[in-house]
Amino acid sequence: MKMASTKLASTKLGLAPAWAMIMSCAMIFVATDARAQTEFDPAQIAEWRNHIFKGQTTYRLVEKDGRRAVHAACSASASGLFMERVIDLRETPILEWSWRIDELPPMTADERSRAGDDFVARIYVVRDGGLLRWRTRAISYVWANTSPEGSDWPNPYADQARMVAVRSGASGPGRWHTQRRNIREDFRRYHGLDLESIDAVAVMTDCDDSGGRAEAWYGALRFLPLD
């Protein structure tokens, strides 16, 4: 894949926080064919590009509960695994993934604020704005600490990214959960856009703002048709 000359900052707290750098990552590669692979097992996810924001969350392929998974562990750090690919939302608008946490990290700051913008598990989907960076939009599906399931809020750094609490608090630590979202409907709901495609996907576990520790496991990720 061909690199462009975009310069990325290195922390969430600077001019390019985590959401902005995830969006930027969607701009620094040449897009692949929309008809390409839309199912990714943990071994493939583990090979996605690891972009470091502040410190490095470690990602490695492991066995968890008799199944393959990507284990993510952060220690006052934030980095994510990114896959740049055009996904045709007309054919496969449904995103399905599985994840697991064993416990929630303690939080003292409001997770809707910059100081509390840490999540034990996140899945990002990104629509690239091209040269018009301000037109880039993202949705971050999170395992929230205190925000109730189904709630949403603008990313505290900028409202081009929308946060959506898919799970919350103690709603199931210690076991696997499979989530499904209609990406096309969500971009309509949260950004007022009727998109035919997205350009990038990312997974991230981060705890740089709190300075603590957290870990999560990610299973397979698939884009599926409505039927």
Look over the chain and give the mean of its residue pLDDT values, rounded to a whole number.
Answer: 85
**Domain ranges within the chain, ordered by starting residue:** 30-224
Kindly tell me if the per-residue pLDDT of 25 is higher than 70.
no
Q: How confident is the model at residue 6 (pLDDT cuts 50, 70, 90)?
A: very low
Kindly tell me if the per-residue pLDDT of 78 is higher than 80.
yes
Pairing mode, if any, of strands 161-168 and 137-144?
parallel
Which residue from 79, 98, 78, 121 is spatially nearest to 216, judged by alpha carbons? 121
Kindly tell me if the per-residue pLDDT of 164 is higher than 80.
yes
- Residues 88-116 have pLDDT tens digits of 999 999 999 999 999 998 888 999 999 99
pLDDT at 37: 66
Kindly tell me if the per-residue pLDDT of 217 is higher than 60.
yes
Threshold 0.95, pTM exceeds: no
pLDDT at 132: 75
Decide if 157 contacts 19 (C-beta within 8 A).
Answer: yes
User: How many other CB atoms sit within 10 Å of the CB of residue 76?
Assistant: 15
Question: Which uninterrupted H or E stretch holds 189?
Answer: helix 183-191
% residues pLDDT > 90 (the chain)? 72
Beta partners for 142? 122, 165
- CATH fold group of domain 30-224: Jelly Rolls (2.60.120)
- Residues found in the chain: 227
- Residues 122-149 have pLDDT tens digits of 999 999 987 777 889 999 999 999 999 9
- Residues 171-204 have pLDDT tens digits of 789 999 999 999 999 999 999 999 999 999 999 9
Give one DSSP letter per residue of 21-56, joined into a string: HHHHHTTSSPPPPTTS--EE-HHHHTTSEEEEEES-
Kindly tell me if the per-residue pLDDT of 16 is higher than 50.
no
Beta partners for 60? 71
Backbone angles phi, psi at 198, to 5 degrees: -120, 170
What is the CA angle 117-145-42, rounded to 5?
80
Token pair 């590009």: residue: 49
DSSP 104: P
Decide if 57 contacts 80 (C-beta within 8 A).
Answer: yes
Q: How far is CA 41 from CA 16, 46, 68, 163, in A?
A: 30, 9, 8, 25
Q: How confident is the model at residue 36 (pLDDT cuts 50, 70, 90)?
A: low
pLDDT at 133: 78
- At 122 the three-state DSSP class reads strand
pLDDT at 105: 87
Which residue from 110, 97, 223 is spatially nearest to 167, judged by alpha carbons? 97
pLDDT at 129: 86
Q: How confident is the model at residue 15 (pLDDT cuts 50, 70, 90)?
A: very low
Decide if 182 contacts 93 (C-beta within 8 A).
Answer: yes
